[in-house]
Amino acid sequence: TATHPELTLIVAATQQMGIGRNGALPWTNLRREMAYFARVTKRPQTQLQNAVVMGRRTWESIPPRFRPLPGRRNVVVSRSLPSSPPPAEGVVVARSLEEALASGAASAPAASGRVFVIGGAQIYGAALEMREARRVLLTRVRTAFECDTFFPLCLPDSGVAEKGWRRRGQAEMDAWVGEEVPRGVQEEAGTEYEFEMWERVD
């Protein structure tokens, strides 16, 4: 069986694990939060670019001027989008998450650095079914927002998380992310949030 790269899911979610509304993020103007997302997903560990793997709806939710997300290999999972021409120059279309990650394909993230799964709900769900999904970089949004789309894993603020998921401390998060991640509750545009890292221990 093919060796898959380790997967890191990156997500901003409310206390109810809400991630979206009407095909967009539930909030606007979390500029420093979005800057964190861009920094973390870009930061190279080797000479290789990192990959961002996303579903077609997430691709469509990214403002056209920001896509493909620069400095990263963009892989879009879709059964219907044509692979040639791709939805934008340099973008790779895969028919499933499995295909997106399969080693061997010249264009697959096998030739990438870190692989980040950036959503949305369907693709997160598919990723969480895979043993390769080791880590979640969660931005816990403490302000309430109405949502119609949810992250399909409960990572509670306190108490016991689902099967095998543990929150890591600041030192471990800083070491993995490669920066001193802002500590404690952040406030931006009237919204409060906190940066967390979770790992699957099994």
Q: Which residues 128-147 are close enough to bind ligand FOL by CB under 6 A?
A: 139
Local structure of residue 24 (DSSP, 8 states): B
Residue 70 or 85: which CB sits closer to ligand FOL? 70
Alpha helix ranges (H) inside the chain = 31-42, 56-61, 97-101, 121-128, 170-177
CA proximity to 116, closest of 20, 30, 2, 6:
6
For the bound state, the minimum distance from the C-beta of residue 3 to ligand FOL, rounded and expressed in Å, comes to 25
Q: Is 51 in the site for ligand FOL (CB under 6 A)?
A: no
CB of 99 to ligand FOL, least distance (A): 21
d(CA 126, CA 13) in angstroms, rounded, equals 18
Q: Which of 4, 7, 8, 11 binds ligand FOL (CB under 6 A)?
A: 11
Identify the helix (H) or strand (E) that includes residue 192. Answer: strand 191-200
Residue 112 CB partners (closer than 8 Å, separation 6+) = 5, 48, 49, 50, 51, 73
Q: Does residue 173 touch ligand FOL according to CB under 6 A?
A: no
Among 6, 22, 29, 35, binds ligand FOL (CB under 6 A): 35
Candidates 34-42, 84-92, 148-156, 157-165 — which segment interacts with ligand FOL by CB under 6 A? 34-42
Neighbouring CB atoms inside 10 A of 70's CB total 10
CB of 104 to ligand FOL, least distance (A): 27
For ligand FOL, the binding residues in 14-33 under the rule CB under 6 A are 25, 33
Can you name the residues that pair with 18 across neighbouring β-strands?
Answer: 150
**Rounded CA separation 116/8 (Å):** 5
Q: Is residue 150 a contact residue for ligand FOL (CB under 6 A)?
A: no
Task: Establish if 177 lies at the interface with ligand FOL (CB under 6 A).
Answer: no
User: Residue numbers of the site for ligand FOL (CB under 6 A)?
Assistant: 10-12, 25, 33-35, 37-38, 58, 61-63, 66, 69-70, 118-119, 139
